[in-house]
Structure 1
């Protein structure tokens, strides 16, 4: 969650040291163009300082307090343009290991000011927010499938999780039992999707509301009633003094406001409790949701470029998928969010829901269910810890793939998809610490490709600075287009173009031939066989024209066997041009030996990891920390 505070910040002293913005070795000169990559921690600095002697600026300071890490962002004017000046990241826990949101926010704020060469001004610098309450979970109570479908349609733009629905006539005992088991943040009771309700439906609605009112002594669970006519008029009387709201069945905006208010109050309580315990001064403004920020940023980018966008946001305790499709003015935004699928705090849930076999299918070495459960326990006990071997890193990335596949499946349900997978998109964005902090950028690209399986031509981008929630928050609340553009330019990193032919063929036979005509050097032609994935270098700062010749069994967007030439030149990315000829849909080999050999081939051909000693499920000496450290080299 993000809160933005306008605060005067002293300018840097003349002669203060500023470090140029450079990626972690992925590309040089990236800070001078869109898609710049900067380290998410510990330093994030602009390419030039504010001019000495210039008037005091009004900076934007934001803090994102997550479950494991707390980030602080500082924006200020750089050569007449608002830029993301610095980013810091600190653990969200205190010295005793307990979550300390207030203390972490203070440390992150002090660190971001130190990075930027500023002096702290406690009177004017205070930002606070928290995402620790996680994804809001609501228990729907509906009279039937039609009403439930209408409710899902009303909520499709919101990053919330609907629990297993309960029938309106299920009875008070079943209702209270569901509340006790699931512990929802609120109950949404729908009395129908059209004006007025029949007698039986009205009686059932009143029975539900009476049960919610009298089911517990000191009842604090909020209730939102979707009703009109007499049912709406009677709902308030039935609930009495219990926290509730009544919304018209078709009022999507009204429902969104009520649910946002419930989420803000929930986050406010969390922050207030920790503020009181720490002795820090209270702040009145309610925090904003970082998940809502990601949704808003996805819509903003889709509108700005007039493209279809899929954003996959994966953190320590949540997974979020946001799809924005259509044209300006008629764009549809659909979200799916899960608060139990984070790669650190939610690893056990990923294992339970996806299964050990699914996670193991992404590993080129035998790890076993017990090994996966050991990894899950380790991630839960030490969520800020790092993998100590390549084997542990591979297991973490396997969990990331399955977490994203699970939330994408939820997104497909929300879309009403009748077939597997999602519609084609132009831009696929990865966000969240689980993706932003990978040792090699190509690892994030492979996770996105394996989870989403984009088709034909898709641009890949990574929120390397984890600033996407802030970008969306600024755009949605302040409509600060200049600030949004600067954050987009500073925070989003262009990974490159993915060419993924649709179809299947015989192993080893050519699936697609690609000609890359560079702007400044000789062209190259690559033939990629079915079942393979290759990376063609095209660094940031370079451009190239493409010609694509799929074989007769494959489609690159214009029909089987039809050649294609993109109208515009391709921009270089931090990874390059990824030619994914593994087939769509992606089918892994059935036998363990063949599957592990194929996975090893893919990882080695893309240089995603250092040379691995795994051979068809057998590992030699396990790679240690020294081997893992080498994964920080250029992609």
Structure 2
């Protein structure tokens, strides 16, 4: 997509809501103009992601008086002399179930750990790991691989000019399993290991799977190179999604691609951290129906942790697999029976789009959101750089700014409730500025930051984000 020079449509598709925002030049500077929202339509009765986007665009048209769809229901790009359409479009999405990924690496604490960081940057669930620490027999590994049914195979074998035969043995085991899978069920393959055996790996997969390559994510024992693998993994993620979700390919054509929402938010957090050149970090928080993500940037280095199994809607029940009812109940302002908390969580998973009708229901939802943050933070802390400043081990590092996203936070009845959820869930050290992304603009600005940095700064400084204060 070319750098936006005028109007820009930003589409973000979640599991519950699809949002569209119009960004345009007003008075010589980029501004947020208006937004539209509709229910996401990847499930029955529509089974088409594009329908939800069109409904959101129709609402945006009512607000702005501008048409964004032609008579054939296709997006109008570029903008027309009569004012209809927009010059460009960016799209992000967190919709759909998490994809399943299998990892291949040598040492669990080295290449496998790095591969888990890469997988954790997207809406992916690690379902199988092959490594030198695996004591299972080969036939057991193959059975487990087949039962796991991975959508993506991520190979992260070895440092540069390091071991070759050990990696290839693990790859051969994975290949034997893939040969037993139906052709239309075989995973996408990403190789991000020792360049010396790259050709060997590709040759082994010939006629079986196409192999996508990326630079070695762990070229040395003490150095990681995550970004190239992260970018290629996003491409494979989009490719799998296009085959699974009707309408996904259409949205991708409109915007050139559909970026995972968590990564887009990570880009804007990373950009802000570089822009202000702070000694401390910047953090982005997003609590969704199916996933919770934390995007932290320290001196321009992005650490992204996505938990696709933790949320306040579709995956509310999964929270109970990682915590206890007692820990959830501690966040409530009054005594509540554990059965009430449990019933609420199960009902929320069955009807994730419902909103609290009573004050007690609101307290239950906010308790669930706090625990989502606690669980995700526990997963994120080990991947932060050792040089990060903090007041002690296992404590949240210092963050100058925390950018807050997710409907449970941005649509809280009072902004102060969102602030309290974040402060309780993260318990940040030091002095922190809390910023609420009221109009869900962060994912769009994350994409735009690489294309037009000026637009990102102008929109963030225009009052479109709500400063909740300093804590």
Tell me the TM-score normalised to structure 1 length: 0.63
Separation in 2 of the partners of 1:379 and 1:465? Answer: 24
Residue in 1 aligned with 2:211? Answer: 244
Give the one of 82, 87, 94 matched to 1:131: 94
Separation in 2 of the partners of 1:448 and 1:281? Answer: 33
Indicate if the aligned counterparts of 1:212 and 1:239 stay in contact, CA closer than 8 A. no
Separation in 1 of the partners of 2:325 and 2:251? Answer: 45
Deviation at 1:212, TM superposition (A): 4.0
Indicate if the aligned counterparts of 2:273 and 2:297 stay in contact, CA closer than 8 A. yes
Q: Does 1:215 align with 2:219?
A: no
Separation in 2 of the partners of 1:281 and 1:454? Answer: 37
Residue in 2 aligned with 1:39? Answer: none
Separation in 1 of the partners of 2:435 and 2:251? Answer: 39
**1:408-462 deviation digits (Å, cap 9, x = unpaired):** 1111021267822221111122111121010111110110110111223211111
Separation in 2 of the partners of 1:211 and 1:157? Answer: 26
Give the one of 491, 497, 500 matched to 2:470: 497
Residue in 2 aligned with 1:572? Answer: none
Pair 129,268 (structure 1): closer, same or farther in 2 beyond 3 Å: farther
Residue in 1 aligned with 2:106? Answer: 143
Separation in 2 of the partners of 1:404 and 1:371? Answer: 21
Deviation at 1:256, TM superposition (A): 2.5
Residue 388 of structure 1 aligns to a residue whose secondary structure is coil
Give the one of 13, 31, 35 matched to 1:83: 31
Deviation at 1:152, TM superposition (A): 4.5
Aligned length: 437
Pair 172,73 (structure 1): closer, same or farther in 2 beyond 3 Å: farther
Residue in 2 aligned with 1:118? Answer: 66
Deviation at 1:94, TM superposition (A): 8.4
Pair 392,342 (structure 1): closer, same or farther in 2 beyond 3 Å: same
Deviation at 1:405, TM superposition (A): 0.7
Residue 344 of structure 1 aligns to a residue whose secondary structure is coil
Deviation at 1:209, TM superposition (A): 3.9
Give the one of 154, 170, 192 matched to 2:158: 192
Pair 154,171 (structure 1): closer, same or farther in 2 beyond 3 Å: same
Indicate if the aligned counterparts of 1:474 and 1:484 stay in contact, CA closer than 8 A. no
Separation in 2 of the partners of 1:317 and 1:479? Answer: 31
Pair 198,221 (structure 1): closer, same or farther in 2 beyond 3 Å: closer
Give the one of 243, 258, 266 matched to 1:295: 266
Residue 94 of structure 2 aligns to a residue whose secondary structure is coil
Indicate if the aligned counterparts of 1:465 and 1:492 stay in contact, CA closer than 8 A. yes
Residue in 2 aligned with 1:235? Answer: 201
Pair 456,316 (structure 1): closer, same or farther in 2 beyond 3 Å: same
**1:471-512 deviation digits (Å, cap 9, x = unpaired):** 111112x134224421453432100111xxxxxxxxxxxxxx
**1:145-199 deviation digits (Å, cap 9, x = unpaired):** 3433662597399345562633246454444444445444312223312314254
Superposition pairs of residues 29-48 of structure 1, within 5 angstroms: none
Deviation at 1:206, TM superposition (A): 4.1
Separation in 1 of the partners of 2:253 and 2:28? Answer: 35
Deviation at 1:385, TM superposition (A): 1.4
Indicate if the aligned counterparts of 1:268 and 1:286 stay in contact, CA closer than 8 A. no
**1:559-581 deviation digits (Å, cap 9, x = unpaired):** xxxxxxxxxxxxxxxxxxxxxxx
CA RMSD of aligned residues (A): 3.1
Residue in 2 aligned with 1:204? Answer: 169
**1:213-255 deviation digits (Å, cap 9, x = unpaired):** 3131314201223333653222112112313224442354432
> Gaps spanning 5+ residues in structure 2: where?
71-75, 78-84, 220-224, 387-391
Greater fraction helix: 2
Indicate if the aligned counterparts of 1:338 and 1:407 stay in contact, CA closer than 8 A. yes
Indicate if the aligned counterparts of 1:158 and 1:335 stay in contact, CA closer than 8 A. yes
User: Which structure: larger Rg?
Assistant: 1
Give the one of 342, 367, 381 matched to 1:373: 342
Pair 356,245 (structure 1): closer, same or farther in 2 beyond 3 Å: same
Residue 87 of structure 1 aligns to a residue whose secondary structure is strand
Separation in 1 of the partners of 2:424 and 2:143? Answer: 39
Indicate if the aligned counterparts of 2:178 and 2:186 stay in contact, CA closer than 8 A. no
Separation in 2 of the partners of 1:380 and 1:160? Answer: 18
Deviation at 1:368, TM superposition (A): 3.2
Q: Does 1:323 align with 2:296?
A: yes
Q: Does 1:313 align with 2:286?
A: yes
> Gaps spanning 5+ residues in structure 1: where?
7-56, 499-635
Tell me the TM-score normalised to structure 2 length: 0.83
Residue 145 of structure 1 aligns to a residue whose secondary structure is coil
Separation in 1 of the partners of 2:307 and 2:2? Answer: 25
Deviation at 1:304, TM superposition (A): 2.0
Residue 288 of structure 1 aligns to a residue whose secondary structure is strand
